Structure 1
């Protein structure tokens, strides 16, 4: 059978599978299922951010005279520009009243006061007591406030010890740009990995129904086994792309409604956003075809749903190992790890999407895409041959190399 006839048969098989899947009742649940946690994530994320903004900062009661408290409060105000969205400890003055220890215990025990700790002893012998971590933010901030207040009391504040620092701002630097692109590279890798793990696993059970009701013999007699594999592989790819488009649309709408500042933006990749997004789509496609072809070949050997469920754990762990191997080269696209991950076909999409974020050269991506598609053809042909000989019993029995040596 010619290549044109093989592709035509694959199109018929793929169209049948795609139509049967998309126009079924279960496909609606498949689309809606991931949207439910996404909806709750946006909802509770927005409520959590609002609650965090409304949450009162921790308060520390300061048992001190007005003059000493004024120095501490001035010191706190000097550090206020460092809050960065997380409010610093508030200081609340409490006038000394006789027994300081009893007053401290009363403040810590009073539920209506809601103080995190008590600072006593003034600036001569400061002593902080509170239910906090010894190395936490509260203790460090109190130590900074006391140290600055002591400088103010001596009349030699740090702010007047020399000329002010001149600051010149730049749009970027080599270090900051490289680090930012590393973040984008890892984000691209994770997105391709997550979508593939979430969607490609269904290919393990694609041939179970046909094998259980003996339809596979009729189908294999009508069209080549290669066409069956190619048709099912591309049908599931089209179904996954349809699902992703629905989820991305719903995610964008949810972000607009529930998040005040949207999803934010990642640092720009080396090839630019339009090319990076196009390469992301292409590498997801080739990654799905590569992993899916392997899964289809493995799942074709299973006879029952139980066997497919048994296979799901090792194949998922194999994907995790491939992803981990590809992450070794992030940050240095010319390293041996990065080149090795790009050459190995099953990790190549992960490595190359990271390279697109860190290196602006385009020709390696053309070579990588051709290399990955070549391996898709090889894996499909091998899986179809294995299925034909081991399941359909058509042609000589398939033997592994060590089985051939044992037979000889």
Structure 2
């Protein structure tokens, strides 16, 4: 055990003392937020402002279709229609002319056939759909008038029904639509992070083993420690590295959620006289505050506990496989034939977990979160929705037993493979090493 501790300590300190590790750990969340902001700015920068001149021969649409920050309607006289169309190609200040014909005897089908949008350049698909939507909105109102239905009656008919959901399994708390969305987002985020980090750190263990094997450093190390101790030291050392990063990120996330939940709400209350322009500017912060509030209402201690336990067990389970692969081959090219056995179950668990949003307690979600090969990602995907304690306990127990068994098998392969050179490993060879 002392040798395992020393190797674990060396592996851990070697990684965390690197400047790249410190920078990545502290800056990764900020980089992700910044990356999202850059993507948002890119979409914003690519937005176009379209100016459309409208020839309204019916006299119905003026005053009813409104301009916005992306689309500007300019109504012109019907007598100028031919002249406007003729000079459109040379008019760089206008993007198009919308010709709306007269509506004879409420014949809207004929009106649709004769409506034209003449453009002098390409316009975006969303711009065209906005124009269609604006025209359709006015026509809809006219059809309603023809039926003799008042606008207030229609608004009452179109009024959406809001269903209040009370969760008796969660202290009778109300689950709003936002809460469902937050649970789904958190579920997918935790599952994806676990999936990626198990693969990333598992591959790191495999490459570390392979590098020491190729450099023949392992021959010197093996003279002082047992192969199993070396393997476990490497796995546990990298495990602590990953755990350190997660603890830092979880702490930063909780502090950020608390700040959004309290900081922006106090700013909002300080707005004098309900200044509408200021309130509009705070729409994004309002959403962020609501999201953070919904996050803090979840059972975070249980979520964090389950996340850490299943990540650690899942990581040790799959890292044992990766360590065995690294010891059994001589170069990275040969690892490809074996890494598929580690990636496929995780991938199956991840894609299967996408269905959990609609039915987290269904049979697929249950079995994916119980079977050890898929439970590290599936149980983490289910936990924001709430999972019975007995299922969590059963899943942890099965995963723990399977992890111990996998460590035993990996140790048998590692013991023989780490000192084997020039012998291409096959499944038949691996089976002989396990039985030996």
TM-score by length of 2: 0.69
Please give the residue correspondences for 1:9-408 in structure 2 after superposition, counting only pairs within 5 Å: 9-24=3-18, 27=21, 38=32, 40-45=34-39, 47-48=41-42, 58-64=50-56, 67-70=59-62, 73-74=63-64, 76=65, 90-98=72-80, 100-107=81-88, 110-115=91-96, 117-124=97-104, 125=111, 127-130=115-118, 131=123, 133=125, 137-148=129-140, 150-151=142-143, 156=148, 158-160=150-152, 164-165=156-157, 169=162, 171-172=164-165, 180=181, 181-245=183-247, 261=285, 265=291, 272-308=299-335, 315-316=342-343, 319-328=346-355, 330-392=357-419, 400=428
Task: Specify every segment of 5 or more residues in structure 1 that has no aligned partner in the other structure, as ranges.
Answer: 1-5, 81-85
Q: CA deviation at 1:183?
A: 4.6
Q: CA deviation at 1:275?
A: 1.8
The answer to whether the 8 A contact 1:269-1:276 is kept is no
Distance 1:138 1:284 in 2: 46
Q: CA deviation at 1:301?
A: 1.2
Task: Specify every segment of 5 or more residues in structure 2 that has no aligned partner in the other structure, as ranges.
Answer: 105-110, 168-174, 261-281
Distance 2:27 2:334 in 1: 25
Q: CA deviation at 1:16?
A: 1.4
Secondary structure of residue in 2 paired with 1:119: strand
The answer to whether the 8 A contact 1:104-1:118 is kept is no
Relative contact order higher in (CA < 8 Å, ≥ 6 apart): 1
2:271 aligned partner: none
TM-score by length of 1: 0.73
Pairwise CA RMSD: 4.5
Secondary structure of residue in 1 paired with 2:38: helix
2:277 aligned partner: none
Distance 2:49 2:25 in 1: 42
Distance 1:382 1:145 in 2: 68
Distance 2:207 2:194 in 1: 22
Residue range with higher mean Cα deviation, 211-220 or 348-357:
211-220
Distance 1:207 1:224 in 2: 14
- The structure-2 alpha-carbon separation of the partners of 1:133 and 1:31, relative to structure 1 and needing over 3 Å to count, comes to closer
Distance 1:241 1:65 in 2: 69
The answer to whether the 8 A contact 2:164-2:176 is kept is no
Count of aligned residue pairs for this structure pair: 380
- The structure-2 alpha-carbon separation of the partners of 1:48 and 1:374, relative to structure 1 and needing over 3 Å to count, comes to same
The answer to whether the 8 A contact 1:331-1:358 is kept is no
Q: CA deviation at 1:148?
A: 3.8
1:3 aligned partner: none
Residue range with higher mean Cα deviation, 326-335 or 347-356:
326-335
